[in-house]
Amino acid sequence: MKTLPAPAQRRLVLLAQLLSQQKTRKITSSMIENLTGWSSSLIRRDISFLNFTHGVSNGYDVAELRAAICDSLGIENTDTEDIRRCCIVGLGRLGAALLDNSLFSETPFRITVGFDSSVNRTEVLRSTFPLYPLSRLELTVSDMGLQFAILCVKEDLAQETASRLVNSGILGIVNYSRAIISVPSGVFVENISPVTALINLSVRVAGRD
Amino acid sequence: MKTLPAPAQRRLVLLAQLLSQQKTRKITSSMIENLTGWSSSLIRRDISFLNFTHGVSNGYDVAELRAAICDSLGIENTDTEDIRRCCIVGLGRLGAALLDNSLFSETPFRITVGFDSSVNRTEVLRSTFPLYPLSRLELTVSDMGLQFAILCVKEDLAQETASRLVNSGILGIVNYSRAIISVPSGVFVENISPVTALINLSVRVAGRD
DNA sequence: CGGTGTGAATGCTTTCACAGCC
DNA sequence: GGCTGTGAAAGCATTCACACCG
């Protein structure tokens, strides 16, 4: 098996999510094409990277295929074992809205701690896990051995906070701010600011000749 | 000028954002490489698609380059003209957190209306623009001629709501839910659920051999 | 020199097309 | 007959390498 190309990896993540919603028991590559717009041969190629040998020729078994993708990507969505604990940094309106582990049900992720510069906010907000002042970030992240952070601080603090996270051992950052943050190699960032998303949409809409 | 490749387009959007943060007046492709991890020749190639002829050989003028990117992508960040009006659908904790146009300052986007199935929420939440019950979605979206929507409804309503948006003329959807939504060709979706982002990070972290 | 801009080469990704299987 | 899985071809994106410029 060749190594999984990055675009294929991202499609497979979405495909796994699509399969969890799927009501039917079987699905064919052209049904997936209709749902996603990706060509059926591309989908078959993506699936072939999983070396998932299903045997039958009349489509994929939805549950089996999803399991094969999760298995291959290491994203078993068990609720019990192999949980990845994450922190949220910045508990403004947006950060506070994400303090809700029901968003992560049936995934291997759990929010286990939040940080904010305002002690007022860490004390007023209710959650099932601790909320600490920013000053305890380094200590807590390294003690808990966290690898993932959700960054919801304001633009002007984004780089500084990201660096502190990286220095404490964080390997992946979900960046909700518009700021572009620099991280050393081996650390990854997913930029999901609504502004970036709207700009990308706008360019794509304009570009459809 | 050849047409802009999709990966280059996405990098340029991020580059424009990076340039807005940049403190220096000049920047070279290898400074950008250090900040972003993209190779300097790739950056020069991306910029060459703009047919931006800057003249000098000791780096790019930050402001000029940013203007050239925005111009070429049609994302002038004026606050006055050519504003794209957007709606938010679903005013739970997350949707309500985005009802804040200060998130979109210095961009051509403005939230101009919100919708929720709960009349209670549309009446209790405060905002500078109207909040309506979901039943008024079609009428309002087509009356206002909106092209962009931010979708924050729960998973089980995502597809149905997206279809209603598309039928009302929406061309681009920022999807905050985990649900994968199907749209006809000519309509675009950006999936930015925190769950998807974490999964992608987790796969990339695991894959760094 | 220390930089850009760009043909040409390389390396990836996607599509084509068809054998093989149920 | 309809679908998968996959070599081989085609099409894209990235890197190389170097002419050229201030």
8 Å CB contact between A149 and A181: no
The amino acid occupying position B4 is L
- Write down the pLDDT at residue A134: 97
Burial profile B152-170: b = 16 or more Cβ within 10 angstroms, e = fewer: bbeeebbbebbebbbebeb
pLDDT along chain A (209 residues), means of 10: 89 97 96 98 96 82 95 78 92 96 92 96 94 97 98 97 98 97 97 96 85
Q: From the Cβ of B55, is strand D under 7 Å away?
A: yes
Distance CA B27, CA B69 (A): 14
Spatial distance between the Cα atoms of B86 and B96, rounded to a whole number of angstroms: 14
> Chain B partners of A195 at a C-beta cutoff of 8 Å?
103-104, 107, 109
pLDDT of residue A1: 59
Q: Alpha carbon of A32 to those of A6, A25, A107, A177, B44: distances in Å?
A: 19, 13, 22, 33, 37
Q: Which of residues 89 through 118 in chain B touch A, CB cutoff 8 A?
A: 92-94, 96-98, 100, 103-104, 107-109
Alpha carbon distance B65, B17 (integer Å): 11
Q: What is the pLDDT of residue B163?
A: 98
Q: Residue A11: name the closest of A64, A82, A73, A85 by CA.
A: A73
**Among all residues of chain B, which has the CA nearest to that of A189?**
B201
Residue A124 token pair: 């007023």
Interface mutation vs chain B, best among A155, A173, A198, most B CBs within 10 Å: A198
Which chain A residue has its CA at the smallest distance from B73's CA? A203
pLDDT in the model for residue B2: 74
**pTM for the whole structure:** 0.94
Task: Give me the DSSP letters along A78-146.
Answer: -SSSSPEEEEEE--SHHHHHT--GGGGTTSSEEEEEEEES-HHHHHHS--SS-EEEGGGHHHHHHHHT-
> 3-class SS at A16?
helix
Distances in Å between the alpha carbon of B41 and those of A46, B38, B45, B109? 29, 8, 6, 32
The pLDDT tens digits for B52-93 are 877 677 899 999 999 999 999 988 766 566 899 999 999 999
The mean predicted confidence, pLDDT, of chain B is 94
Taking CB atoms and an 8 Å cutoff, what residues of chain B touch A184? none
B51 vs B72: CA distance, rounded Å: 9
Q: Which of residues 42-61 of B touch strand C (CB under 7 A)?
A: 44-45, 47-48, 52-54, 57-60
Whether the beta carbon of A5 falls within 7 A of nucleic chain C: the reply is: yes
Report the pLDDT value the prediction gives residue A165, as an integer from 0 to 100: 98
Structure tokens at B96: 């309500």
CA–CA separation, B138 and B170 (whole Å): 10
HSE (CB half, 13 Å, CA atoms) of B108?
20
Query: Which residues on neighbouring strands pair with residue A151, listed in sequence order?
Result: A89, A175
Return the structure tokens found at A195.
């502004």
Residue A56 has a pLDDT of 78
Q: What percentage of chain B reaches a pLDDT higher than 70?
A: 96
Whole-number pLDDT of residue A51: 83
One digit per residue, the tens of pLDDT, for chain B of length 209 reads 678 999 999 999 999 999 999 999 999 999 999 999 999 999 999 999 998 877 677 899 999 999 999 999 988 766 566 899 999 999 999 999 999 999 998 899 999 999 999 999 999 999 999 999 999 999 999 999 999 999 999 999 999 999 999 999 999 999 999 999 999 999 999 999 999 999 999 999 998 65
C-alpha dist (Å) from residue B177 to A43, B122, B148, B150, B196: 23, 20, 16, 10, 9
Q: What is the DSSP letter of B169?
A: T
Residue carrying the six token digits 């303090």: A99
Task: Indicate the SS3 state at residue B151.
Answer: strand
